[in-house]
Amino acid sequence: MAILVSPQTKVLVQGITGSFGARHAQLSLDYGTQVVAGVTPGKGGQTFDHKGFSVPIFDTVAEAVRQTGATASALFVPPPFAADAILEGADAGLELVVAITEGIPVNDMIRVKRAIQGKPTRLIGPNCPGLVTPGDGENSHGGCRIGIAPGYIHKRGHVGVVSRSGTLTYEAVWQLTCRGVGQSTCVGIGGDPVNGTSHLDVIKMFMADPDTHGIILIGEIGGASEEEAAEWIAQYGTKPVAGFIAGATAPPGRRMGHAGAIVSGGKGTAQAKFEAFEKAGIGVARTPSEMADTLLRLMK
């Protein structure tokens, strides 16, 4: 088992004919992901061809879902149009929309959050690397990769990873793989101040997943997502969790990298998040290089 996606997940790519969407559609096909459709308005009826694969392209998500049974979307749509593309996926009944796009206006995302509230569609991102459920074997065939994460660093196993940072997701995964430890699912939730899925949402899924035996939680300064997750873990957590917070040396009031990574009004500091982790019994990694080892010590 895993969370959110599996080898059976049928994926469509919104923006498959753009250079970025095309490149990552190719990498997902190489990884073994079932990419069953592409969506680019005005290019319906064409195909996306790669190494023997011929993926049909549709003008709308609704048509792609009807024709192929796709249940998940990887979204590579430019920022001015990305919010409407997310809503198109939700209106078509997709179970999962993974918005890779960076730079979507905050007002647009507030509109999206309100519109999808109560709908069955789960949004991952925006401004995220996506997610990977690793497959078995040397080439990871049978896995599912949605987004931009480097699939080759993953190994099938029992550690779940959830992170606001794409780069630190890859670092944690590579540390685990180099130690011979595989992952169940790795989820990059994105670094924007308004996103679809929080640390807590993913933590709850990992805790309920029998195939996940330990969790690495990676956060950063700004917001209260990490503290909320820590509070829940303190009460209901049943598996070992290691945590790291990026941005400990950032000056207050200065945004560091992600739009959501800013300390203001004395809230969202790295120290407050580390203290919440310690109070919840989460193993604290003080540097990125300690993430995997911190979890493995707890698991032993």
| 105 plus 212 within the same structural domain | no
Read off the pLDDT band of 268 (50, 70, 90): confident
Read off the pLDDT of each residue in 182-198 and give the average, rounded to a whole number. Answer: 95
Domain-ending residue, one of 104, 124, 144: 124
Q: At 219, which CATH number?
A: 3.40.50.261
* Cα-based distances in Å from 47 to 11, 38, 236: 15, 8, 48
Q: Is residue 130 part of a domain?
A: no
CATH number at residue 52: 3.40.50.720
What is the sign, positive or negative, of the torsion defined by CA atoms of 19, 25, 28, 29? negative
Residues 6+ apart with CB under 8 A from 33: 9, 11, 143, 144, 145, 146
Q: Are residues 184 and 275 in the same domain?
A: yes
Domain boundary among 103, 124, 145: 124
Judge whether 4 lies within some domain.
no
- The answer to whether position 1 is within a domain reads no
Active site residue 258: yes
Asked whether residue 132 is assigned to any structural domain, the reply reads no
Residues 120 and 161 in one domain: no
136 in any annotated domain: no
pTM for the predicted model, two decimal places: 0.94
Of the residues 24, 154, 199, 258, only one is catalytic, namely 258
Q: What is the number of structural domains in the chain? A: 2
* Residue 242: exposure state from Cβ atoms within 10 A (0-12, 13-18, ≥19): buried
Contact 258, 220 (CB under 8 A): yes
Residue 267 scores a pLDDT above 60 = no
Among the candidates 108, 124, 140, a domain finishes at 124
Q: Do 97 and 216 share a structural domain? A: no
177 and 222 both lie in a single domain:
yes
| Closest by Cα among 112, 117, 24 to 75 | 24
pLDDT digits (tens, 9 = 90+) for 54-96: 999 999 999 999 999 999 999 999 999 999 999 999 999 999 9
Over residues 106-148, the pLDDT tens digits come to 999 999 999 999 999 999 999 999 999 998 754 446 799 999 9
Residues 183 and 278 in one domain: yes
Q: Which domain holds residue 290?
A: 155-299
